[in-house]
Amino acid sequence: MLLCLTAVVGFVLTMFAPSPILASGLEKASHWRQGQKQQPRYAPTWDSLDRRPLPRWYDEAKFGIFMHWGVFSVPSYGSEWFWWSWKGAQNQDFIDFMKRNYPPGFSYADFAPMFKAEWYNPLQWAEVLQASGAKYVVLTSKHHEGFTNWPSKYSWNWNSMDNGPHRDLVGELQMAIRNNSDLHFGLYYSLFEWFHPLYLKDKENKWATQEYVKEVGLAELYELVKAYHPEVVWSDGDWEAPYTYWNSTNFLAWLYNDSPVKDTVVTNDRWGSGMSCHHGGYYTCSDRYNPGVLQKHKWENCMTIDKKSWGFRREATLADYLDMDDLVKILAETVSCGGNLLMNIGPTHDGRIVPIFEERLRSMGRWLGVNGDAIYATKPWRAQNDTREPGVWYTSKGDSVYAIVLDWPASGQLTLGVPKTAATTAVTMLGWKTPLKWAAVSGGGITIQMPMAAPSQLPCQWAWVIQMKGVV
């Protein structure tokens, strides 16, 4: 009991201690504003809003972690769309699941008191997230079920303070992240709710009324930004109604002009039907968007380690999870083509990051610890992948070109068709001390002698990065 009390006191003191990271960031932001001309104000039109430059930190970050957590984490079956699958689509599999496991008359609302988050330790989450090598995190503040993971005054008895955990889940993680890591803190927010009476009424009126938006949607968004200062506002649940129903442009104009995060916040493109991939901050276009070619507009590949669900699933098997070869490949493809990777995990209803997710996060961190120079703050090169060797993706930074090699060449020699060498060309492998021998290929290209070493002696297990200087 004494140990538990000591841990709680230590946790509270740490959570509310002044944050040197946050204070430093605010000081830098203040100095930046003082050294700049007055920032332009943005009108509530797409023409004006789309002109806002994306804050530099986001493009340089390249890698973030998504976290889907809510009441759906209690049944933890099928996906985070459990309620809709059961009561909306009336999927027989979900109906049978409820008959097998819960008494007659059990409602979705009855899951909320079971969402206790009794093992939720924001400091431990912050440590794992920091160890992943990610530069930002996006937590679900509210999914389509409508349950808010903060004590929203616009969601009476359907929030994490009135029901379930009886804690401010968003606020606790925000404090832990900002006091104990260098990650940027962001929030996911679903604009719509499947079964909210006001939303269903507006939908029946073909969006001619906006009772839900005024009483819930926009009210909660303003509340979130003012209370928690998220540097990512990740909108979703927009697709049924036009942006004019959501008043999206008015909210974004306030966010960019007058909000407490106006200088650093980034937003996505899910602000109304037909808006995705056309308007907003960076583009997501669709879940798991990975075009494989360079894009003209900054974009993000939001994907999930569990191939079938964003929320935690108890029935998942090992084969359902992407392995490290998969994840490094997706990261290389995404960054080479100018995107950011937002990789999702689903915590459990009791607040744990299960070992398989933790293992993937820490493994990504170890890989980035060796190869981060080829990822963070890089720019797309003139070619995204190699013309001769499959499984090689390029990035660039300053005078360096990086070739991310997904498969070790069986011969021990790697021949690339794109780089053009010169007498000053130098070739190394990140994490390997000795320069690599190379030879120019007649007609263009380069052959590189890979290190002669046992797998355990190589700098990493999954993909290897060749750094080339003096190539075009």
Q: Alpha-carbon torsion 345, 327, 82, 137, what sign?
A: positive
27, exposed or middle or buried, with CB in 10 Å at 0-12, 13-18, 19+? exposed
Q: How confident is the model at residue 218 (pLDDT cuts 50, 70, 90)?
A: very high
DSSP H/E element including 233 = strand 232-236
- Is 23's pLDDT higher than 90? no
DSSP H/E element including 409 = none
The pLDDT mean for the chain works out to 93
Q: Are 418 and 386 spatial neighbours (Cβ–Cβ below 8 Å)?
A: yes
* Full 3-state SS string of 118-147: CCCCHHHHHHHHHHCCCCEEEEEEECCCCC
pLDDT of the residue at 428: 98
- Is 405's pLDDT higher than 90? yes
Percentage of residues of the chain with pLDDT beyond 90: 91
Who's near 155: CB < 8 A, 6+ residues apart?
A: 142, 146, 147, 148, 216, 220
Q: Are 125 and 353 spatial neighbours (Cβ–Cβ below 8 Å)?
A: yes
pLDDT of the residue at 34: 38
pLDDT of the residue at 32: 37
pLDDT of the residue at 207: 98
Q: Is 303 helix (H, G, I), strand (E, B) or coil?
A: strand
Residue that has been written with the tokens 């926009």 in this structure: 218
Q: Are 459 and 431 spatial neighbours (Cβ–Cβ below 8 Å)?
A: yes
- Our separate counts of H helices and E strands in the chain read 15, 14
- Is 197's pLDDT higher than 90? yes
φ, ψ dihedrals at 213, nearest 5°: -60, -45
DSSP H/E element including 343 = strand 339-345
- Is 11's pLDDT higher than 90? no
Read off the pLDDT of residues 336-361 as tens digits, 9 standing for 90 and up: 999 999 999 999 999 999 999 999 99
Q: How far apart are CA 145 and CA 363, in angstroms?
A: 32
Q: How confident is the model at residue 365 (pLDDT cuts 50, 70, 90)?
A: very high
0.85 surpassed by pTM? yes
Who's near 454: CB < 8 A, 6+ residues apart?
A: none
Q: How confident is the model at residue 37 (pLDDT cuts 50, 70, 90)?
A: low
Q: Are 301 and 294 spatial neighbours (Cβ–Cβ below 8 Å)?
A: no
397, exposed or middle or buried, with CB in 10 Å at 0-12, 13-18, 19+? middle
Q: Is 464 helix (H, G, I), strand (E, B) or coil?
A: strand
CA distances to 74, 97, 119 from 70, in Å: 8, 19, 14
Q: Alpha-carbon torsion 110, 111, 112, 116, what sign?
A: positive
pLDDT of the residue at 39: 79
pLDDT of the residue at 443: 87
* Full 3-state SS string of 26-95: HHHHHHHHHCCCCCCCCCCCHHHHCCCCCCHHHHHHCEEEEECCCHHHCCCCCCCCHHHHHHHCCCHHHH
In DSSP terms, 302 is beta-bridged to 342
Q: Pairing between strand 400-405 and 392-397?
A: antiparallel
Which of 5-14, 96-105, 312-321, 459-468 has the weakest average pLDDT?
5-14
Q: Which amino acid is at 193?
A: E
Mean pLDDT of 141-163: 98
Q: Which tokens sit at 94? A: 């979900």
Q: How far apart are CA 54 and CA 345, in angstroms?
A: 26
pLDDT of the residue at 38: 72
